[in-house]
Chain A
Amino acid sequence: MKVLEGRKKQVFRKGETPFEIDCEKQSLAGSVSQRACVFCGSRVVLYPIADAVHLVHGPAGCAAYTWDIRGALSSGPELHRLSFTTDLREQEVIHGGESKLYQGLIQLIDRYHPKAAFVYGTCIVGVIGDDVEAVCKKVSALKGIPVIPVHSEGFKGTKKDGYKAACTALMRLIGRGRTEGISKYSVNILGDYNLAGEIWIIKDYYRRMGVEVVAGITGDGRVEEIERAHGAALNLVQCSGSMNYLAQLMKEKYGIPSLQVSYFGFEDMAEALYGVARHFNDAEMMKRTQELVRDEIQAIYPKLLEYRKALAGKKAAIYVGGAFKAFSLVKALRLLGMDVAVVGSQTGSKQDYQLLKELCDEGTIIVDDSNPLELSHFIREKNVSLFIGGVKERPIAYKLGIGFCDHNHERKVALAGFVGMLNFAEEVYQSVMSPVWQFIPRPKQSVPMGGVQDEYSRTANP
């Protein structure tokens, strides 16, 4: 297989090539990249805030593609699951979309009485030069709720820049609320989006430890909670890609320290709890945490061993959005006795890849911003039985006849927490061990491309 010349430094084989991975660069033009855009980054981060309206200022497409595609659950309001757009047409492209935006916002706020409104700028808004900031300001003054522009024009960087734009927008909410009565043992959960109800599991652990969760940012998110987030004593940052920047901003402005955590796998989950107990330096809390971890693992471990028996020795490939998730997955797979042969991410940093390299075995392929051609090649080369990825990778795995686990938007069961590790094991087990793979025809000589006649084609008679 040919790796694009300009991409050679984005593929690293541990023990075979010197480590000088090139990352955090724009995808090459013409590549079948698995990456998305700035807007996508902002939209996924803010979308779980369930009592705000999210208005996509642009043509209808950007709103249609992001309408309720990510299962970010809410325990109450579900405004975030509707799709609102200014649906810009030719008219506005020529004359500007500000008046449409203004009217749209007024109508939305009058109809839904949201606690806040986010306005997402799309590519076209960046080019036609609407003053979104001014419109938001005007509507906010009129309606008395925060109306926040999100500067997420698609071409202005990568998905990561979209995360940043979302963090900047969140900073405009944070600090507005009152902080009286917040416990000295309190945290914000940053970077969990409550897919399949995961933040509920995590919140329950912290509650049992005696820690107050001030705000989920943004999983099961509420405007008023986020407005009080500056009253928390500690920020817990998962999904480093999206939320490190917010933690950094909150540290600068409010002096809140942060802890990087992951809720995937026993090891990292336990550490996410112990880290908090250590931070608060409370012996009672540490004791409760130890009991909690022991109870949870004891309840699950025997079942996990059964899955391990079936899966041990099999190989896995990981291709995820943020590299931080990959660390946890490597460890979680190890717990199942599986080896990671290929690991990559869309948006990892040099430091992330350095850590991955240290974590992985010899021969592991580490790759940045990959594409389907490379990924299928690596999978075949390494004889992998499980692929962990997102929506665009799933059918590729199945076409190759191997198991798949969605660790992205489309997960259907909670993968976070101790119970999540068991769910993960079960999902991996059922997919890898599915009887369907035995029915795949043996590889045979490939038919040459071109000139293939299908069953209903006839040669025309001149």
Chain B
Amino acid sequence: MLLRHTDKEIKERVALTVNPAKTCQPVGAMYAALGIHNCLPHSHGSQGCCAYHRSTLTRHYKEPVMASTSSFTEGASVFGGQANLLEAINNIFSVYNPDVIAVHTTCLSEVIGDDIPQILAKAKEDGRIPEGKYVIHCNTPSFVGSHVTGFSNMVKGMVQYFAESSGNKLNQVNIIPGWVEPSDMREIKRLAWEMGISTVVFPDTSDVLDAPLTGKHQFYPKGGVTIEALKSAGDSIGTIALGHFASAAAAEALDAKCNVKYEILDLPYGLLATDRFIDSLRRMAKVVVPESINAERGRLIDAISDMQSYFYGKRVALFGDPDQLIALSEFLVTLNMRPVYVVTGTPGKKFEEEMSRVLHEIPEAKFKQAGDIYLLHQWIKNEPVDLLMGNTYGKYIARDEDIPFIRIGFPILDRIGHSYFPLVGYTGALRLVEKILGAIMDRQDRDCPEEGFELVM
């Protein structure tokens, strides 16, 4: 009973977050930057930030995660971090030799007011940035938004620093995949490939955070979007941004800078969101959806129809990041399940608007932005659910309340699979279906009376 302390009685808490359902911006910026080929993310702040982000990403991916830090001292907090960043740029290019350094700030450097563009301009002027190398940045104050905001800011930074418009349109589509796993980014590329569409997917952490074991430690694994591709994004026929919270800002910036039209879609989790994604790709690239993709869709619906009775009426509680939760809730409704409690730690009214849209048929549903896992637990204590979905921190609730639990989101610290098997697309939806059924049916097998224990289900 680890969470024995959770009260049923819900009181307004304004000054206290208990068991947060979010973390801070810089880790998102670090994750996004790892999706650029030959890029070293750089944390402009105290050493601890960088160590924590690397540890969290390492635990989630079970992969080495490389990033450098400005190693702030007390001096830097008084006189500013310019000297640290300039020295860092020298050291990084001379020892780690990346093509790109992607600088993100921290609460400390934000509050002391370091002006990163000015520092980078000085670095350029001093000749600290070798020919053909780049230093990009984004601001990621930890006290604003969440890790999702940081991810979004870094992706926007990629556009601002790299995208160029040559005047000649290229027959290619930009896809901003949002904060999804390497496996999902790989799957998104595969779907576009099946449709015969050239794409620029950014960021792209496939082949970075799911690198094969070769007996060598590749400081920069082979994956990641190349600078050439990022530059060409300004000439693409259009942009599809997946997930409003993680991807919209970059798509808007690209349109403003290079006049590339965009569509903002939900993350392609589940049937309907994938339909919209495929349809959007089809229209934008003016292609016909191949039979192979229709067949993938057909297999998904086939599986859902076979097992429909097991989904019916099941109450689900979810927590995590807004883009994931919106798409996932929609899919659960498609499956005839009832997503009744949905909590994100990330602030943003947009979340509540979207959830009202997705859950309009579930009158008992409660959802909250800028909430915490403690609140979710209180709701569950007041009226239980049949299934819990969220990152690893959900395991405390699952154990205490004895609820089947599916790990989804960030971070997942105690299971593998997320880096290898996608959740996006029809195939990803099929995996979700399998996971949901597995959890529910295992529970039925465990809990049913012996005479009701069925061989054929």
Q: Closest Cβ of chain B: how far from A270's Cβ, in Å?
A: 34
Kindly identify, within residues 43 to 57 of chain B, every residue whose CB is under 8 Å from any CB belonging to chain A. 45-56
Once bound together, how far apart are the Cα atoms of A82 and B52, in whole Å?
18
State whether the Cβ of B161 lies closer than 8 Å to any Cβ in chain A.
no
* Stretch in B21-29, B259-267, B269-277 touching the partner: B21-29
Instruction: Indicate whether A391 sits within 8 Å of B55 (C-beta atoms), given known contacts A104-B16, A443-B216.
Output: yes
B90 touches A30 (CB 8 A): yes
B393 touches A157 (CB 8 A): no
CB contacts (< 8 Å) of B18 on chain A: these are 82-84
Once bound together, how far apart are the Cα atoms of A443 and B216, in whole Å?
8
Instruction: Indicate whether A103 sits within 8 Å of B213 (C-beta atoms), given known contacts A59-B107, A123-B46.
Output: no
State whether the Cβ of A355 lies closer than 8 Å to any Cβ in chain B.
no
Instruction: Indicate whether A83 sits within 8 Å of B20 (C-beta atoms), given known contacts A30-B92, A90-B144.
Output: yes
Of A6, A78, A89, A373, which one neighbours B143 at CB under 8 angstroms? A89
A452 touches B222 (CB 8 A): yes
Once bound together, how far apart are the Cα atoms of A61 and B112, in whole Å?
18
A103 touches B16 (CB 8 A): yes
Of A59, A102, A154, A392, which one neighbours B54 at CB under 8 angstroms? A392
B38 touches A450 (CB 8 A): yes
Once bound together, how far apart are the Cα atoms of A400 and B219, in whole Å?
12
State whether the Cβ of A96 lies closer than 8 Å to any Cβ in chain B.
no
Q: Which B-chain residue is minimally distant from A102 (CB atoms)?
A: B15
A123 touches B143 (CB 8 A): no
Of B40, B84, B99, B192, which one neighbours A450 at CB under 8 angstroms? B99
Of B15, B70, B111, B170, which one neighbours A101 at CB under 8 angstroms? B15
State whether the Cβ of A155 lies closer than 8 Å to any Cβ in chain B.
yes
A123 touches B96 (CB 8 A): no
Once bound together, how far apart are the Cα atoms of A90 and B110, in whole Å?
11
A103 touches B14 (CB 8 A): yes
A127 touches B143 (CB 8 A): no
B219 touches A372 (CB 8 A): yes
A395 touches B62 (CB 8 A): yes
A450 touches B76 (CB 8 A): no
CB contacts (< 8 Å) of A31 on chain B: these are 68-69, 71, 91, 95
CB contacts (< 8 Å) of A400 on chain B: these are 215-217
B172 touches A37 (CB 8 A): no
Residue with the highest number of chain B CB atoms closer than 10 Å, among A31, A394, A451: A31
State whether the Cβ of B189 lies closer than 8 Å to any Cβ in chain A.
yes
CB contacts (< 8 Å) of B85 on chain A: these are 29
State whether the Cβ of A309 lies closer than 8 Å to any Cβ in chain B.
no
A36 touches B23 (CB 8 A): no
State whether the Cβ of A126 lies closer than 8 Å to any Cβ in chain B.
yes
CB contacts (< 8 Å) of A395 on chain B: these are 58, 61-64
CB contacts (< 8 Å) of B305 on chain A: these are none
CB contacts (< 8 Å) of A37 on chain B: these are 46-49, 51
Q: Which B-chain residue is minimally distant from A99 (CB atoms)?
A: B15
Instruction: Indicate whether A443 sits within 8 Å of B215 (C-beta atoms), given known contacts A33-B71, A59-B142, A128-B111.
Output: yes
State whether the Cβ of A401 lies closer than 8 Å to any Cβ in chain B.
yes
A65 touches B56 (CB 8 A): yes
Kindly identify, within residues 179 to 219 of chain B, every residue whose CB is under 8 Å from any CB belonging to chain A. 186, 189-190, 192-193, 198-199, 206-207, 211, 213-219
Q: Closest Cβ of chain A: how far from B111's Cβ, in Å?
A: 5
B51 touches A60 (CB 8 A): no
Once bound together, how far apart are the Cα atoms of A87 and B78, in whole Å?
24
State whether the Cβ of B66 lies closer than 8 Å to any Cβ in chain A.
yes
Once bound together, how far apart are the Cα atoms of A78 and B3, in whole Å?
9
Interface flags, A343-376, vs B, CB<8A=1, else 0: 0000000000000000000000000000011001
Q: Which A-chain residue is minimally distant from B194 (CB atoms)?
A: A456
Q: Which A-chain residue is minimally distant from B22 (CB atoms)?
A: A60
CB contacts (< 8 Å) of A111 on chain B: these are 5, 7
Of B5, B26, B73, B143, which one neighbours A124 at CB under 8 angstroms? B143
State whether the Cβ of B418 lies closer than 8 Å to any Cβ in chain A.
no
Of B22, B51, B189, which one neighbours A36 at CB under 8 angstroms? B51
State whether the Cβ of B403 lies closer than 8 Å to any Cβ in chain A.
no
CB contacts (< 8 Å) of A456 on chain B: these are 186, 189-190, 192-193
A32 touches B66 (CB 8 A): yes
State whether the Cβ of B13 lies closer than 8 Å to any Cβ in chain A.
yes
B198 touches A460 (CB 8 A): yes
Q: Closest Cβ of chain B: how far from A247's Cβ, in Å?
A: 25
Interface flags, B86-129, vs A, CB<8A=1, else 0: 01111110111001000000111001100000000000000000
CB contacts (< 8 Å) of A203 on chain B: these are none
State whether the Cβ of A458 lies closer than 8 Å to any Cβ in chain B.
yes
State whether the Cβ of A95 lies closer than 8 Å to any Cβ in chain B.
no
Instruction: Indicate whether A35 sits within 8 Å of B95 (C-beta atoms), given known contacts A84-B16, A111-B5, A155-B76.
Output: no
Q: Closest Cβ of chain A: how far from B74's Cβ, in Å?
A: 5
Interface flags, A1-17, vs B, CB<8A=1, else 0: 01010100000000000
Instruction: Indicate whether A391 sits within 8 Å of B59 (C-beta atoms), given known contacts A82-B19, A93-B143.
Output: yes
State whether the Cβ of A34 lies closer than 8 Å to any Cβ in chain B.
yes
Once bound together, how far apart are the Cα atoms of A149 and B207, in whole Å?
45
Q: Closest Cβ of chain A: how far from B67's Cβ, in Å?
A: 7
Kindly identify, within residues 364 to 402 of chain A, every residue whose CB is under 8 Å from any CB belonging to chain B. 372-373, 376, 391-392, 394-396, 398-401
State whether the Cβ of B77 lies closer than 8 Å to any Cβ in chain A.
yes
Instruction: Indicate whether A30 sits within 8 Å of B19 (C-beta atoms), given known contacts A61-B52, A88-B143.
Output: no
Interface flags, A34-50, vs B, CB<8A=1, else 0: 11111110000000000
B393 touches A30 (CB 8 A): no
State whether the Cβ of B324 lies closer than 8 Å to any Cβ in chain A.
no
Instruction: Indicate whether A154 sits within 8 Å of B49 (C-beta atoms), given known contacts A60-B345, A123-B107, A391-B55.
Output: yes
Once bound together, how far apart are the Cα atoms of A2 and B93, in whole Å?
12
B107 touches A58 (CB 8 A): yes
Once bound together, how far apart are the Cα atoms of A99 and B16, in whole Å?
11
Instruction: Indicate whether A461 sits within 8 Å of B170 (C-beta atoms), given known contacts A29-B85, A30-B88, A392-B58.
Output: yes
Q: Which B-chain residue is minimally distant from A373 (CB atoms)?
A: B219
Q: Closest Cβ of chain A: how far from B213's Cβ, in Å?
A: 6
A462 touches B143 (CB 8 A): no
Q: Which B-chain residue is minimally distant from A459 (CB atoms)?
A: B198
Q: Closest Cβ of chain A: how far from B401's Cβ, in Å?
A: 16
A454 touches B223 (CB 8 A): yes
CB contacts (< 8 Å) of A256 on chain B: these are none
Q: Which B-chain residue is minimally distant from A91 (CB atoms)?
A: B143
Binding site for B on A (CB under 8 A): 2, 4, 6, 26-40, 58-67, 69, 78-79, 81-90, 92-93, 99-104, 107-108, 111-112, 122-124, 126-128, 154-159, 372-373, 376, 391-392, 394-396, 398-401, 440-443, 446-447, 449-452, 454, 456-462
Given A31-B68, A64-B22, output 15 extra A-B contacts at Cβ < 8 Å.
A27-B71, A32-B66, A37-B51, A59-B142, A61-B27, A62-B24, A67-B19, A84-B16, A124-B143, A157-B73, A399-B63, A399-B64, A399-B215, A401-B215, A449-B38
Q: List 24 A-B contacts (CB under 8 A).
A: A4-B91, A29-B84, A29-B87, A30-B87, A30-B90, A30-B91, A59-B142, A60-B22, A61-B23, A61-B24, A62-B52, A65-B55, A78-B2, A85-B16, A85-B17, A86-B15, A87-B17, A107-B16, A112-B5, A122-B107, A443-B216, A449-B38, A449-B220, A458-B199
- In order of increasing CB-CB distance, the 9 nearest A-B pairs are A37-B48, A61-B24, A30-B88, A30-B91, A103-B15, A154-B46, A456-B189, A64-B23, A65-B52
Binding site for A on B (CB under 8 A): 2-3, 5, 7, 13-20, 22-27, 37-38, 40, 42, 45-56, 58-59, 61-74, 76-77, 83-85, 87-92, 94-96, 99, 106-108, 111-112, 141-144, 146-147, 168, 170-172, 186, 189-190, 192-193, 198-199, 206-207, 211, 213-220, 222-223, 226, 232, 345, 393
